[in-house]
């Protein structure tokens, strides 16, 4: 009997080890609207960079995006959202931590101060993630598109969704920082606790400036009246990304993650088109993605999800299609 119990015990240990070896790492994202999942993605082109990050990884890595519109590091904890993430984390996972846009807001349910309460919340995320066996990755907040050097640093990001398309104030050739000391907290905590760090603010500032004053509008929710049926009056939003902008930023941040976490680098991929029925790419259907291609070059396409009929490929169009194992193309 003792021998049987011993064998069962050893078998149980073996099963646990096998399960651990088969665990595909998960990249959890906690943050605000710049990274968040978006509703009505079939009609509204707004995307968070975290929403489309999956399209830059093979299916060996799962992106689990818990970023939510309007949250600060404080409200994310107080609402129990961080605890829900902690409950899901397994050893070998990763946690991307990016706040700052809403921590500067004056409302007491969200406000924190850089150097004290904001840093303390970041340290809590790091310490508790490590206690669950995960690797934390701190990120500075992404840059706002601002070429005006008199800035209200506590502008309500969520309210920007209601600003109709129109002229903007411009008096600077270079991007103006709107985050102040909040931009520095993630780096300071990373040094203090020896944490992987991605300077998303510097990366996105460079992107905004490369696109220029006018071109950078095409990264954001700048819509002319009548351009989008879901937003008939148009919009002038320099904080939140459209589909194109979210993918530009997500691709750059994926590469940056690969640099600070070398074991993730082999799983990073870049595609011209990503198809996802859940809005995690730049096309919702396979045929729509094919129809957007033009003759003259070979395109690389990834299909993340769905069941699709064999697409009709126009004459002269060349495309290499990769797909996740759950995808069916008949």
- pLDDT tens column, 30-64: 999 999 999 999 999 999 999 999 999 999 999 99
The number of domains in the chain is 2
Looking at the fold, whether 189 and 94 belong to one and the same domain comes out as yes
Beta-strand relationship, 220-223 and 235-241:
antiparallel
CATH code of the domain containing 151: 3.40.50.1110
Domain boundary among 248, 269, 290: 269
Its pTM stands at 0.90
Domain-located, residue 20: no
Q: Is it the case that residue 200 has pLDDT exceeding 50?
A: yes
In b/e form, how buried is each residue of 265-293, taking b as 16+ CB within 10 angstroms? eebbeebbbbbbbebbbbbbebeebbeeb
Range of the domain at 309: 271-330
- Alpha-carbon distance of 20 to 42, in angstroms, equals 37
pLDDT of residue 149: 85
């Amino acid at each position: 009997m003792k021998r049987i119990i011993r064998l069962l015990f050893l078998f149980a240990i073996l099963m646990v080890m096998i399960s651990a070896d088969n665990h595909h790492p998960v990249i959890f994202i906690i943050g605000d609207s710049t990274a968040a999942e978006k509703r009505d993605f079939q009609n509204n082109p707004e995307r968070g960079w975290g929403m489309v990050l999956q399209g830059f990884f093979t299916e060996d890595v799962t992106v689990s995006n818990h970023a939510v519109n309007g949250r600060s590091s404080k409200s994310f904890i107080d609402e129990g959202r961080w605890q829900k993430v902690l409950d899901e984390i397994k050893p070998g996972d990763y946690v991307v931590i990016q706040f700052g846009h809403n921590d500067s807001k004056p409302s007491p349910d969200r406000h924190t101060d850089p150097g004290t309460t904001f840093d303390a919340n970041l340290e809590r995320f790091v310490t508790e993630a490590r206690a669950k066996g995960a690797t934390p990755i701190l990120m500075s907040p992404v840059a706002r598109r601002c070429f005006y050097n008199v800035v209200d640093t506590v502008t309500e990001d969520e309210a920007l969704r209601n600003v109709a398309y129109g002229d903007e104030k411009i008096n600077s050739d270079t991007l103006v920082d709107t985050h102040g000391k909040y931009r520095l907290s993630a780096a300071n905590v990373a040094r203090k606790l020896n944490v992987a760090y991605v300077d998303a603010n510097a990366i996105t500032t460079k992107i905004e400036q490369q696109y220029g004053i006018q071109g950078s509008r095409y990264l954001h929710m700048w819509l002319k009246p009548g351009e989008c049926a879901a937003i008939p009056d148009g919009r002038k939003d320099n904080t939140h990304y459209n589909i194109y902008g979210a993918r530009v930023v997500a691709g750059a941040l994926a590469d940056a993650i690969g640099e600070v976490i070398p074991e993730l680098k082999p799983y990073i991929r870049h595609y011209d088109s990503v198809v996802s029925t859940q809005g995690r790419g730049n096309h919702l259907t396979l045929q729509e993605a094919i129809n957007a291609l033009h003759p003259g070059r070979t395109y690389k396409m990834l299909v993340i999800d769905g069941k699709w009929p064999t697409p009709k490929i126009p004459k002269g169009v060349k495309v290499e299609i990769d797909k996740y194992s759950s995808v069916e193309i008949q």
